[in-house]
Amino acid sequence: MTPMSSIGRLKDGNATFVAHPEAALPITSERRMELAKGQTPFASVLSCADSRVPPEVVFHTGLGDLFVVRAAGQVTDRSVLASLEYAAEHLHSPIIVIMGHESCGAVKAAMDTPATKSLGVNLDYLLKSIRPAVTASAAEPESSRLRVAILKNVEDSLNDVVEGSPLLKKMLNDGEIGVVGAYYELGSGRVHFSDAVIKTPAGAHK
């Protein structure tokens, strides 16, 4: 699959989830048996760990379809990057989706916690990673500030993935993978995608 056809399949799956959230996910015992031999997920998703945002469900996918990495606020660290590298290089997953969501508690916590206040070494690490998005949205009106910070945090996570991994950056520049941001609406179930970053290698014919 190409990065664009992967995104198309994700959009189709999300449309099914929006219109028919009760529809059973495409999981069969035959497919489960087949997958015991190996996996070729058609997309990788880095999403927030929030219980309301399970990528396999919101994209209406089955076993073996998505390579999913999750952390609060979809913050990257080395384990996250190594996982995404594995999916891209070894499993040939053609697209990396960085998905944030409406009312993200991690972004809200970064917004509400002064930088000088410590909440413990691990949470401090998480909030520090999100804080640039909060700073960038500081001038927004109160009513849209959280949403703008969440969108900016998706953009920051996307840049962190590309800049934090020489391997993924090279694969992106060589046109082997694409990256795209996404925003999930809790109530409607709808996923909004940003413009995908997909490069065509110089001299390539397609």
Q: How far is the CB of 48 from Zn ion (least distance, A)?
A: 3
Using CB under 5 A as the binding rule, the residues of this chain from 144 to 173 that contact Zn ion are none
Q: How far is the CB of 150 from Zn ion (least distance, A)?
A: 8
Q: How far is the CB of 42 from Zn ion (least distance, A)?
A: 24
**Among 5-13, 57-65, 102-110, 167-175, the segment contacting Zn ion (CB under 5 A):** 102-110
110 binds Zn ion (CB under 5 A): no
Q: How far is the CB of 8 from Zn ion (least distance, A)?
A: 26
**Among 104-112, 135-143, 176-184, 198-206, the segment contacting Zn ion (CB under 5 A):** 104-112
Complex with Zn ion: residue 32 or 192, whichever CB lies closer: 192
Complex with Zn ion: residue 10 or 46, whichever CB lies closer: 46
Whether 93 and 9 have beta carbons less than 8 Å apart is answered as no
Q: Cα–Cα distance between 73 and 140 in angstroms, integer? A: 20
Considering only 10, 48, 134, 171, the residue that binds Zn ion (CB under 5 A) is: 48
With a CB cutoff of 8 Å and minimum separation 6, the contacts of 27 are 62, 63
Complex with Zn ion: residue 11 or 70, whichever CB lies closer: 70
Give just the sign of the alpha carbon dihedral 60, 79, 195, 178. negative
Considering only 68, 81, 104, 172, the residue that binds Zn ion (CB under 5 A) is: 104
Residue with tokens 């989830």: 17
Considering only 7, 50, 130, 172, the residue that binds Zn ion (CB under 5 A) is: 50
- Report the amino acid identity of residue 171: M
Q: Cα–Cα distance between 195 and 185 in angstroms, integer? A: 18
- Report the amino acid identity of residue 181: G
- Burial of 104 (C-beta count, 10 Å sphere; 0-12/13-18/19+): buried
Q: Cα–Cα distance between 74 and 16 in angstroms, integer? A: 24
Residues that bind Zn ion (CB under 5 A): 48, 50, 104, 106
